[in-house]
Each structure stands twice: as C-alpha cells, then as structure tokens.
Chains A and B, each alone.
Chain A
C-alpha cells in the first residue's frame, strides 16, 4: 500500500476542493472535498456513512473509531486526504442486519450498550484491539513487555479499551461481550 500511493504536488489553491478516492468497506469512493475535512466528516457528511459517530471531536471519547488497514484509529483527529490508498473499515463494513459480526451479536446478548451511541466505536475498537492482542502487542498493564501476554484478562480488556468511553456505563456488558466473542474464536 505504502509504495503504491503516488506523492502529490501542492494540490490546491485556498478555497478550492480537490478530488480524492478513498477505499471504504471494500469499495472505492471518489469525492470532492477541501483538504481540511476530517476523515470522520468525510465518512458522515460526504459519504453518508453515519454509523461512525461524532462524540467529542477531539480524540478523547473513541466514538469515531474506524479501522485503517486493520488498525483502529480515531477518524476525528486526522484528514480524509491522508488516507488515500488505505483500506478503511467502518461499522457498516463489519456486519449487516442480515449477517451480524460476532461482536455485534455478543453486544446484544450481553447488554453491551444502552443508548448505543458509542457502540460502533466500541465494536471497531474491539476488533482492532483483538487483532493487536493476537499480534502480541503488550499493554500498560502487561507485567513483562518483553514476553507475549498470555491471557486477555479483564484488566487487559479494560486497559486496552480505555480509549472508548460509554456515558451509559455499560462497561461490564461490553467487557463480557468482548471476552465471550474472543473466547469463541469466531472473530475474523
């Protein structure tokens, strides 16, 4: 991915839009935007993918979490134009009403939400978090960072998910949903 994306010249004069192409949920989308449009606003306002939520818009709440080449990121703190040539996955790309993602099933089973506003970000974050865990990434509560963490304990889940806030306080249900889905080993 990195090598294939061409460099750009200074691509615009002030007050003008430019054409960019983003790959979202497996499909290429071409849009005309100003460079200052965040990835979050591009998704919601320009592509009408409103599953990704705007909470604080300053990187504290995690509601805008999406996946970039499989890594969880905050779409509010970055420019859409920076993501040309990368694969973005939003909640709309993880599951559909007819075919839910295993984490979506567990969030419902385990009461992982009340109002649901933080849920898309929680689920995208959990998908990325599980991938990080499987890749051996330690966390701030991992005792020995030079060893691979052995168990995705409650403490590890809480620490690794601490970038996502839930004002309804459904943390217990969210943690249980993540642990159950992780243990069932059905997460792609």
Chain B
C-alpha cells in the first residue's frame, strides 16, 4: 500500500474544509472496500479523511420519512426499528449484502461509493477502462458471469455490487451531498452513472463532496415490501 496522510474529522465542517484543497484526497468510512483497493494499488489517495466519527445518526423526517446519516454503519440501519417497520426491504437487502462483520464496519455512504467487484478491475495486469481509461475491457470477452445484463456499454460491463443500493433505488431515496461551498440533493436513481463512454466516472459526486445523508420518503406500501435476491451464490457462499 502506498503511503498516505491520515486525518480524522469529527465535524462535517472539518471534513469538508480539509478535503477542499486535496485533489487526491479521499473520505474514509469503515474501510472494507477502500482499504482493500489501496492494498491492491487500485486506489492511491495522498490523504484519507476518516469520517466515521461524524454523528448524524438515523431520525424521522418531518414529512414522515426517515433520514440516515452517511456515517451510519450498515448493521445499524438494518437493525433500526424505523427501517425494520417501514422499509423492511432495506433491512433485508443489507442483511443479504455482506457478512455480519462487514455490516458492522461498512457505512451507508461507503456502501453507495463502493467500487465494482469486476475481476479485471482488481487485476492491475488486465485492461480495464474503468481503472485505466482507454486501455480496453478484458471482461467483455473474459469471465463475465457476474457482469451487467442491463446498462452495459462497449467500454465496460461492470456492475455496482451493492444490495443496499438496489433497495434505495426502489424506495425513491434521495442523496444529500455537501462540500465546503454548498449542498445539493440528488435523486438516488441519478446518483450513479451508466458506464457509456466514460466508465471511470461512476457517480455525480465531485472530489470535495461528501454524502451527508440519505432520505427515504414516506411510502406506506414499503411497510409490506420485501427484498428478493436472485444470485448464482449468496453474498457469502456458505459452506455452513
């Protein structure tokens, strides 16, 4: 892993002002994806700003929806009474998404920002337009059973690996993002980009912006929603 500077922010303002001048700085959540990618030299930030100590938490919105802080751990979302009662599909998606240990570490914002699990993206010796724009895509004629059926392009067939994000998309969530110079709200379904001609551009987030929270609208039907997962293997292929 390349060397980097570590910085811990405990307030949103600290986090935003510190990232602003750092073109190669990254926010760090639980680390379950970013640390792994840094170890593989796929991600190479000069500075990481730890935002796990921010404390927005989970709360009921004035309109009857629910607001979930970006720093909230996945297990805390899955176990929260408001989520379990009003949006059970979100609990189920998270519970289907990773092992108990990873759910205890991974944050909501980190889950949204995680990178694809495409084998060629992780393999520095392979061609990958997402990792190295213009180099080609070895997945298209390679092992691509876990790759995209819908939304792929001639340059990239990688998928976003999150279960949680599928539920957020179905629940018409919105994403609140903020930088030192302002804030904006993006519909969840517009937050991630299709690969198209620029598969290295994965979201609409700028380098100095942080996902501060995700808002779930009041949806009476969601009380009876379920998350059904169709997969070649469970998230953790289990010999148990």
Contact = CB atoms under 8 A, between A and B. Distances in A.
B52 interface: yes
Contacts of B88: 144-146
Interface in A58-84: 58-59, 62, 65, 68, 71-74, 77-79, 81-82, 84
Contact of B14 (A7, A128, A159): A7
Interface in A114-136: 125, 128-129, 132, 135-136
B240 A175 contact: yes
A139 B236 CA distance: 13
A57 B84 CA distance: 33
Contact of B96 (A140, A158, A163, A166): A140
B31 A77 contact: yes
Nearest to A70: B104
A13 interface: yes
Interface of B: 1-11, 14, 18, 28, 30-32, 35-36, 38-39, 47-48, 50, 52-53, 55, 75, 78-79, 84-85, 88, 91-92, 95-96, 98-102, 104-105, 234, 236, 238-240
A12 B105 contact: no
Nearest to B94: A140
B4 A36 contact: yes
A52 to B, nearest CB: 13
A81 B55 contact: no
Contacts of B75: 71, 132, 137
A142 B8 CA distance: 37
A15 B3 contact: yes
A169 B91 CA distance: 30
Interface in A1-38: 2-3, 5-15, 18, 34-36, 38
29 contacts: A3-B55, A7-B11, A8-B7, A9-B7, A14-B4, A35-B6, A36-B1, A36-B2, A62-B99, A65-B101, A71-B75, A74-B32, A74-B102, A78-B31, A79-B28, A82-B28, A84-B8, A132-B75, A137-B79, A138-B78, A145-B78, A146-B85, A161-B240, A162-B236, A162-B240, A163-B98, A164-B99, A171-B239, A175-B240
A152 interface: no
Contact of A11 (B7, B28, B102): B7
Given A2-B55, A11-B7, A140 B28 contact: no
A2 B47 CA distance: 22
A104 to B, nearest CB: 20
Contact of A136 (B1, B79, B92, B96): B79
Contacts of B5: 10-14, 35
Given A10-B18, A36-B1, A78-B31, 12 more contacts: A7-B14, A8-B6, A35-B5, A36-B2, A65-B101, A77-B32, A79-B28, A82-B8, A137-B79, A138-B91, A157-B240, A171-B240
Nearest to B38: A36
From A10, A65, A165, residue with most partner B Cβ within 10 Å: A10
B80 to A, nearest CB: 10
B47 A132 contact: no
Contacts of B85: 146
A160 interface: yes
Contact of B105 (A6, A13, A74): A74
Nearest to A75: B101
A8 B8 contact: yes
Contacts of B11: 7
A59 B102 contact: yes
Contact of B100 (A15, A58, A125, A144): A125
